[in-house]
C-alpha cells in the first residue's frame, strides 16, 4: 500500500517563491554589476588599469573587479621595462 505525502502548507510554498524571487534579483544585480565592470575594463586607460575610485563612481564594490590594481600595474610595467 502506498503512503500519501502530506500536503505542503501554503505558507511554505509562498516562502519558497519569495526566496526564489530574492535569489533571482540577486543574480540579476550581480550580472548587471559584472557587465558594468566589463564595460569599465573595455574603456580602461592605455595601461589597462581600472582604479578603485572609478569603480566607486559606478557604485561597484572593488571585490568584483577583475582587473589589475595600480600597484600590480606598476609592478608589471616595471618588470616589462627591465627586460
d(CA 25, CA 15): 15
pLDDT, residue 79, reads 79
pLDDT of residue 53: 81
User: Could you give the 3-state DSSP secondary structure of residue 74?
Assistant: helix
Burial classification of residue 44, based on how many CB atoms lie within 10 Å of its CB (0-12 exposed, 13-18 middle, 19 or more buried): middle
The per-residue pLDDT string of the chain (83 residues; one tens digit each, 9 = 90 and over) reads 566 666 667 778 888 899 999 999 999 998 998 888 888 877 876 666 667 787 788 777 766 665 566 677 777 777 778 77
Q: 0.75 exceeded by the pTM? A: no
pLDDT of residue 51: 74
Amino acid at each position: 500500500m502506498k503512503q500519501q505525502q502530506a500536503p505542503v502548507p501554503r505558507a511554505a510554498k509562498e516562502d519558497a517563491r519569495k526566496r526564489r524571487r530574492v535569489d533571482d534579483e540577486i543574480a540579476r544585480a550581480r550580472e548587471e554589476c559584472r557587465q558594468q565592470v566589463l564595460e569599465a575594463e573595455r574603456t580602461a586607460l592605455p595601461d589597462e588599469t581600472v582604479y578603485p575610485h572609478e569603480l566607486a563612481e559606478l557604485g561597484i564594490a572593488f571585490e568584483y573587479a577583475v582587473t589589475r590594481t595600480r600597484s600590480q600595474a606598476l609592478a608589471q610595467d616595471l618588470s616589462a621595462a627591465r627586460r
